[in-house]
Structure formats: C-alpha cells, structure tokens
Amino acid sequence: MPLDKKTLLDAVKEAKAQSGEKKFNQTVELILDIKEIDMKSPEGKIQAVVDLPHVSGKPNKILVVASGELALKARQAKADSVIERAELEAYAGKKKQFLSEAPLMPLVGKILGPVLGPRGKLPVPVPPNADIAVLITKHRKTVVVRMRNQPIIQCAVGTADMKEEELVDNMQAVLRLVEGKLKRGLKNVKFAFIKTSMGEPAKIKP
C-alpha cells in the first residue's frame, strides 16, 4: 500500500463525503487489515505511541500525577487535571492521558495499572527537571497504535473539522510506525480504510 499523499488524500476526501452532516465533530480513523503475520510473535503484539504532526479537534485530556513544584507547573501549563498521592485512587478507570512524576510511578502503576494497562493508557513518567509544559503539549496529540487478538489496527488520526492535508500527515505518521513494526512493512497490509465516526469506510486504493 502506498504512502503517497495523493492516494491518502483521495481516501480522506471520500470518507468525508460519506460522513454526512452531523451535529458533532466526528473522529476520523485509520483502519488496517494485516495479513501474513504470526499473532503470537512480537509483530502480532504491536503497541506504540505515535506523536502526530497535528493536534485534532479532540485533543487528548492530560492528567498529571505530581506533587510540590511540578504539580504547580502542571497547573500553570493548563493540564486538565493535577492530582497528588492521596487522590490517586479516585481516578482509577478515568479515560485520560496520564503523565506521572517519576517517584510516584510505582504507586500509580499499582493503583491504575490494572484498569489502564489493557486500554494502552499506562502513565508516562516525567523525568526530573523535565519541562512539563512541553510534555503536556506533546501528549495532547499522541495516539496509541495497537493490535490485540486480531490482525487489525484501528486508531484515530484526527477529526472531520481538520484540513485534509493535516489528516494525511497524521496518517503517514501512523503508517511509518506500522511499516517499521512489520517484517514486510506495508506489504503486510491487506486492506486499508479511512472512516469517520458515523460514515462508511473509504478504501485506500493503490
């Protein structure tokens, strides 16, 4: 399957055309049907975080687990939530992107790991002296690319209100990651589609 922008752009335009008029900002997803892989091998257990070039109309919500000065800086950087040690348990199960002060990672993993691990949402450790504002900005536009049980990868690459060229850039970032994870690269992709939340899938045609 090609990575060229024209092919991807045509698929994005078709998916948008088939999405219909909705009263909400639809998510745009990339769906890959993978072939000729052993699901028990490492390539059958793909899970990675991709930094997308463009933030979507639905940026990730950021929760920072920290204390003291780092907690203060996280609030100044407009993290969606900042919690300290005593509040951790109340956040088990929440669907947010987590950044955690490194010394609190063992406690975070113990409390939230069983809930967040299966969803691919384990907290990201924040190294000492890291610029928390930069990390928050970065993680607002990340996406988890994963394959579980079935040879299918399905992940959001943006929202319908984004420019088509921006959606293509985000798609290419995901495809580059997948290409590097599979033994035969994109030759292992049997079919690829673009789909909006309520629309019909548009096939990416070679």
- Averaged pLDDT score across all residues of the chain: 85
Q: Give the pLDDT confidence score for residue 65 in this predicted structure.
A: 83
Does residue 146 sit in helix, strand or coil?
Answer: strand
Q: Give the pLDDT confidence score for residue 129 in this predicted structure.
A: 83
Averaging pLDDT over each range in 23-37, 71-85, 123-137, which range is the top one? 23-37
Question: How does residue 3 score in pLDDT terms, banded at 50, 70 and 90?
Answer: low
Average confidence (pLDDT) over 113-140: 77
Average confidence (pLDDT) over 161-186: 95
Average confidence (pLDDT) over 13-26: 87
Question: What is the percent of the chain where pLDDT is above 90?
Answer: 54
**Phi, psi angles (nearest 5°) of residue 45:** -125, 45
Average confidence (pLDDT) over 188-205: 93
28, pLDDT greater than 70: yes
Does residue 136 sit in helix, strand or coil?
Answer: helix
- Spatial distance between the Cα atoms of 35 and 115, rounded to a whole number of angstroms: 30
Angle between helices 68-76 and 132-139 (to 10 degrees): 50
Higher-confidence residue of 84 and 199: namely: 199
95, pLDDT greater than 50: no
- Spatial distance between the Cα atoms of 22 and 135, rounded to a whole number of angstroms: 33
